[in-house]
Structure 1
Amino acid sequence: MRILFVHQNFPGQFKHIVPALLARGDEVVAMGMGDYAPPREMRYVRSHARMGTGKDGHPWSRDFDTKVIRGEAAFRSAMALREAGFTPDVIIAHPGWGESMFLHTVWPKARIGLYCEFFYRSDGADTNFDPEFPLDQEEEQAARLFVKNAGNYLSFQHATRFMSPTHWQAASYPEWIQPRIAVIHDGVDTRAVKPNPDVSLRLSNGLNLTRDNEVITYVARNLEPYRGYHKMMRALPDLMKLRPNAHFIIVGGDGTSYGASPPEGKSWKQIYLAEIEGHIDHKRLHFVGHLPYSTFKAILALSRVHVYLTVPFVLSWSLLEAMATGCAIVASDTSPVRELITSGVHGKLVSFHDVDELIAAVTDLCQDAEHRAMLGQNARERIVRAYDLHTVCLPRQMAWIDQLGMA
């Protein structure tokens, strides 16, 4: 089968599927807008936008303009591929940035499958969830989100099959399309992501940590309110008093992945760190930024208690990886998290909005080794049973692709 993958940041969610397809002999071509060094068995085409988003149009339509610009870039790359003799049987695309909108005009007979990560909603999800960041004009935001989803709607028209990583994310989509969405997670390689009682890690300041140290971890792609960074920071002064020997490792970048950007010239990291300045011990607080994956796994294996916080939004891979590592997890009691964690069974759930509840849950787990061990074991068993890459998710993904090819 000839398969074209389209993702603005390839490989993205397709990083496990592509090697499996190549291994069984499928012809794979990928298209994206970033740098990627493909294996010698496949071809990668980098698309380039011919223009930037203008500032003279209607402000509500600028996001859609950006998607059309990206869609045109992918369209022209597709035309070049067709002229070079490539015609895919199947196109698998992430529609979130617009690249998939015009591909059907280049290859009208190709079957298109879409990776459905998130459909923006004005209620019941991330929008206006945190009262600390209220919307002044809710009706206007609803209108903006309606236009923001326009690229998704256009991509839906010519797609045959759909796939979403969680039930909650699938349920964010319009009701008429939900029955057509197969829920298949990207998967966790539980052979590689697992407990490691012998782990040790030397930080950049020379401190060497092992499982004998009390280590509390927090992970986000970027340190921002969407992932509860402000709540974690506000919990730190009391946690440091209550756990005087604990070290706190904070993983994540200084940028913004989701939600509003911070005031110009600042980062969310700086803003909330400044808020607690004078009330924490900097020698026990370790910001490690973005890390090589091997170091990231070591930090999870060190963790005595792992904190995961999020508004109702796309579920982070890091939560499943922490569960696969056997971490004792304190997480926000929000809809996407509840799909993975039953409180008291696989971890402890606390209100996203209640810092005191977060402090109490982390402190309780630090004091109860037996409870930590039970939660961590249950968490890993859940991931191995339902989200393992090799035995569950990848076989289902491959079957979904085969069914798409036969549609």
Structure 2
Amino acid sequence: MKILFIHQNMPGQYKHLARIMAADPGNQVAFITKGEKPDIPGVARVSYKPAREPHPSTHHYLRFVEGHVLYGQATVRAALQLRQRGFVPDIVCAHTGWGEAMFIKDVFPESALLAYCEFYYRAKGADIGFEPGTDPDVDKMARTRCRNSHMLISMEAMDWGVTPTRWQWQQHPEAFRDRISVIHEGVDTGLCKPNPAAALVLPNGRVLTRDDEVITYVARNLEPYRGFHIFMRALEEVCRRRPNAQVVIVGGDDVSYGSAPEGSPNWREKMLAEVRIDPNRVHFLGKVPYQQFLTVLQVSRAHVYLTFPFVLSWSMLEAMSTGCLIVGSSTAPVMEAIEDGRNGLLTDFFDPRGVADRLDAVLDHSDHMAALREAARRTVVERYDLHSVCIPAQLKLIEDVAARRRPAGLGAP
């Protein structure tokens, strides 16, 4: 089979799938991406660069749309290079998020298009307007509708779609849902597993193990979408109540979602100026290598995961697989994987004291929480395991879509 993957940040959600498909000598695999990215063995990479940025004078409803068109145009030019080389894929697997899938059918009309439908923006009921006092005005609602234009064009062109969670599936327009399967990218549960002997060396030289009272928090970047501001307010109470607690925070100072804070260079510095914590016991590691990230999880007694109603982070499922006790927000994406009191503990997103109370419950009774930890890992093994659940379902979906067969059902629950 000839397979073409398209993602502006190669490999993105195709990290495992592209590598596994390229390892099959019966496949030819190509990847279109933005700029220079690390190669994957057996994958032919073609890079693109948008011709320009959206023009400052473009109507603010359409600035996103113009950017997506520029990405789609650049993707087309890269795809034409492949076609001129004689590479015509049986199936194109393309992320819809940046406009790369908008025009790909015009280059490869004979190829099946399996679109990765990650997130469809809603002016109400999801991330926008979630925080009190941020209800969108008509301008923002109109801009949000326009922001989805590239995804609507891509979904109209797709033969089928796939999304990782049922909640994300529900955000997409009802007219397209019967052509979108729910299959997660998968968690390598053989790699993300408990390690009682794990030891984390902090920048100050201190070594933390499972014998220590370790609270962990992980996000790509420290920002409100992932509840960083709530967590920091909870830490003020945690540091007061628990003199032996050590807090390990992983994440960068950039902005992945939302916007930068006013009057501060980043959300970390803003929150440090607003709360009183013990700097000797709260450790900011920044962005870390993956193995160190796993070690952070393996020494954790309580792992905090808070999120807006938005895309569910891989890190939460990886933490569950590693045997972490999750203190999570009772928001829809989290509640799809965690049931309060069965495989984790939930609290209201906007309640810092509630977060602190839940952390107290975990740290005061860590021996009694073993069943929740085991249930958390079992949930991931049974529903999100990379090799036994997700990759087989993804491969079957690709085979069906390439063969123009209608996939059965909506994939994994």
Please indicate the TM-score interval, normalised by the length of the shorter structure: over 0.9
- Asked if 1:7 is matched to 2:7, the reply is yes
Report deviation, 1:372.
2.1
**In 2: Cα distance, 1:99 partner to 1:264 partner:** 35
Equivalent residue of 2:175, what SS? coil
Contiguous gaps of at least 5 residues in structure 2? 405-413
Report deviation, 1:50.
1.1
Equivalent residue of 1:65, what SS? helix
Show CA shifts across 1:264-304 (max 9, x none): 6511111111101xx22101010001110000000000000
Counterpart of 2:150, as a letter, is G
**In 1: Cα distance, 2:259 partner to 2:402 partner:** 40
**In 2: Cα distance, 1:84 partner to 1:262 partner:** 48
- How many pairs does the alignment contain? 403
- Asked if 1:326 is matched to 2:323, the reply is yes
Counterpart of 1:14, as a letter, is Y
Equivalent residue of 1:44, what SS? strand
- Asked if 1:300 is matched to 2:297, the reply is yes
Q: Residue 22 of structure 2 contacts residue 41 of structure 2 at CA under 8 Å; is this kept in 1? A: no
Show CA shifts across 1:38-93 (max 9, x none): 23422101111111110112111000000011111101111111112211111000
1:227-306, aligned counterparts within 5 Å?
227-263=226-262, 266-276=265-275, 279-306=276-303
Q: Residue 10 of structure 1 contacts residue 34 of structure 1 at CA under 8 Å; is this kept in 2? A: no
Q: Residue 344 of structure 2 contacts residue 372 of structure 2 at CA under 8 Å; is this kept in 1? A: yes
**In 1: Cα distance, 2:345 partner to 2:173 partner:** 31
**In 2: Cα distance, 1:262 partner to 1:49 partner:** 29
**In 1: Cα distance, 2:378 partner to 2:63 partner:** 45
What is aligned with 1:39? 40
For residue 348 of structure 1, the aligned residue among 341, 345, 350 is: 345
**In 2: Cα distance, 1:152 partner to 1:94 partner:** 9
**In 2: Cα distance, 1:369 partner to 1:42 partner:** 46
**In 2: Cα distance, 1:40 partner to 1:186 partner:** 20
1:165-204, aligned counterparts within 5 Å?
165-204=164-203
Show CA shifts across 1:118-137 (max 9, x none): 00001111110011x514x5
Equivalent residue of 1:320, what SS? helix
Show CA shifts across 1:110-159 (max 9, x none): 1000011100001111110011x514x52221111100000001111211
Q: Residue 23 of structure 2 contacts residue 42 of structure 2 at CA under 8 Å; is this kept in 1? A: no
**In 1: Cα distance, 2:112 partner to 2:306 partner:** 38
User: Aligned residues: percent identity?
Assistant: 44
Counterpart of 2:395, as a letter, is M
For residue 335 of structure 2, the aligned residue among 335, 338, 357 is: 338
1:8-407, aligned counterparts within 5 Å?
8-25=8-25, 26-131=27-132, 134-135=134-135, 137-263=136-262, 266-276=265-275, 279-407=276-404
TM-score, normalization by structure 2: 0.96
Show CA shifts across 1:3-29 (max 9, x none): 100001010000010121122221100
Counterpart of 1:44, as a letter, is R
Counterpart of 1:48, as a letter, is K
Equivalent residue of 1:189, what SS? coil
Counterpart of 2:222, as a letter, is L
**In 2: Cα distance, 1:390 partner to 1:255 partner:** 33
Report deviation, 1:259.
1.2
Counterpart of 1:390, as a letter, is H
TM-score, normalization by structure 1: 0.97
Show CA shifts across 1:83-111 (max 9, x none): 12211111000011011111111111110
Counterpart of 1:386, as a letter, is R
**In 1: Cα distance, 2:41 partner to 2:281 partner:** 45
Counterpart of 1:89, as a letter, is D
Equivalent residue of 2:251, what SS? strand
* Larger mean Cα displacement after TM superposition, 25-34 or 334-343: 25-34
Counterpart of 1:81, as a letter, is L
